[in-house]
Amino acid sequence: MALRSLYKCRVLLSKQLIEKKLLVTIPKQVQKYTTSTSPLLKKEEIHVTFIKPDGEKIKVKANIGDNLLDVVVNHDLDFDGYGACEGTLTCSTCHVILKQEDYDKVPDKPTEDEMDMLDLAFELTDTSRLGCQVVLTKEMDGIEVKVPATINDVRNSR
């Protein structure tokens, strides 16, 4: 839970720093017409269903362009140990299993680095992916994501 909170803080801080940097670069003549807050743009959303090991289904709305780890963090979903490396591709704790038709909708195929991490995951299948590497697209609306019962954080075995 602490890692998830740390990740959220890091994301929020990054966004704030970016916004401040953008405001600094705006000429003074233009600044009087701007506000210190950015307008909230409605992001396009899709539906994602997470299936817990006990079969419980959790349906959420997710922003197109987010990855599955972002969705878990943004919705504060309680999957024990999920995303321990915060999406740096150094563990396999965000391992998910997709149905074949959903797996085929993912535009980017696994990289060699992702495959190396997946080799260390428990309950590995032909349709396994790391959630931090699955970026959501409009075509993925309705995707179902199975979260395995156990995780293997390879960083702890070193």
Q: Please say whether the beta carbons of 48 and 136 come within 8 A.
A: yes
Dump pLDDT digits (tens) for 111-156: 999 999 999 889 999 999 999 999 999 999 999 999 998 766 655 5
Secondary structure (3-state) at 80 = coil
Q: Please say whether the beta carbons of 66 and 135 come within 8 A.
A: yes
Query: Which pLDDT does position 26 carry in this prediction?
Result: 43
pLDDT band at 11 (very low <50, low <70, confident <90, very high): low
HSE, side-chain direction, 13 A CA sphere, residue 88: 8
Higher pLDDT, 68 or 38: 68
Q: Please say whether the beta carbons of 147 and 53 come within 8 A.
A: yes
Q: Is the pLDDT of residue 19 over 70?
A: no
Dump pLDDT digits (tens) for 58-103: 999 999 999 999 999 999 998 888 888 888 888 899 999 999 999 9
Q: Which superfamily does 42-153 belong to?
A: Beta-grasp domain (3.10.20.30)
- The Cα 149–Cα 146 span in angstroms is 9
Distance between first and last Cα of the chain: 22
Q: Whole-model pTM?
A: 0.70
Q: Where are the domains positioned within the chain?
A: 1-41, 42-153
Closest CA to 158 of 58, 91, 74, 108: 91
